[in-house]
Amino acid sequence: AQSVAQPEDQVNVAEGNPLTVKCTYSVSGNPYLFWYVQYPNRGLQFLLKYITGDNLVKGSYGFEAEFNKSQTSFHLKKPSALVSDSALYFCAVRPPNTDKLIFGTGTRLQVFP
Amino acid sequence: KAGVTQTPRYLIKTRGQQVTLSCSPISGHRSVSWYQQTPGQGLQFLFEYFSETQRNKGNFPGRFSGRQFSNSRSEMNVSTLELGDSALYLCASSPLSLAGVPGYEQYFGPGTRLTVT
């Protein structure tokens, strides 16, 4: 079955420290991978995507993600966390030849001052 | 450009009633998808519309339906509401069909919070 896993319900990090939010996927073929962020009472905001090419993808607000095909992972990273980064983060995959996004369960990022 | 707009933002309905939610995509976007977000099930795909045609449908009962108009605006309808239908319903748009140009990201609206009592 096609699926996305975000193994951590919550990630806590101090402001100024690097952060990583993990995502692994299970799909057949080469997927398209996305990260979205959700702030309270808001919809999802697009952060970045991997389609093909360079495994390191840079996105909005200083976030980046690294695609690792052998480990079927697409971890979200940021070198220096901000308190304003505190939000709910979703990893999503679009399997080839499908029209829908499959989302992970979300990871709540808490950045402490 | 204005973002995706959804109306109403909040809705309270009684079990057994029906409800219609509206979504206006970003100008120029022709694909509209709907998702249901609940604490227990997370984000689940409902359906996608492109050029007034339903392209794909998720695993939801027939009580959930939708349509798209010629101006790309979309509505979704839920009939015979159940308590379990309480959720945040998100609409997302993209320039083209996800099948046609798979690399396009979707842009989400703020959602409609439906509460069924």
pLDDT single digits (tens) A9-20 = 999 999 999 999
- Give residue-wise pLDDT tens across range A18-72: 999 999 999 888 788 999 999 987 789 999 999 888 899 999 999 999 999 999 9
- Give residue-wise pLDDT tens across range B38-87: 998 899 999 999 889 998 889 999 999 999 999 999 999 999 999 999 99
The one-letter amino acid code at A50 reads Y
A51–chain B Cβ distance below 8 A for any pair: yes
Q: For residue B11, what are its two tokens?
A: 């809705």
Residue from B23, B59, B105 whose CB has the most chain A CBs within 10 Å, to mutate: B105
Chain B nearest-CA residue for A50 = B103
> CB neighbours of B61 closer than 8 A, spacing ≥ 6?
none
A70–chain B Cβ distance below 8 A for any pair: no
- B-side interface with A, Cβ within 8 Å? 4, 6, 33, 35, 42-45, 48, 55-56, 58, 90, 92, 97-99, 102-103, 105-111
Task: Go through B46-66 and write b for each residue having 16 or more CB atoms within 10 A of its CB, e for each that does not.
Answer: bbbbbeeeebbbeebeeebbb
Could you count the other beta carbons within 10 Å of the beta carbon of residue B97?
Answer: 19
Q: For residue A16, what are its two tokens?
A: 């100024």
Tell the residue number behind the tokens 């959720």, with chain if given.
B87
d(CA B105, CA A35): 10
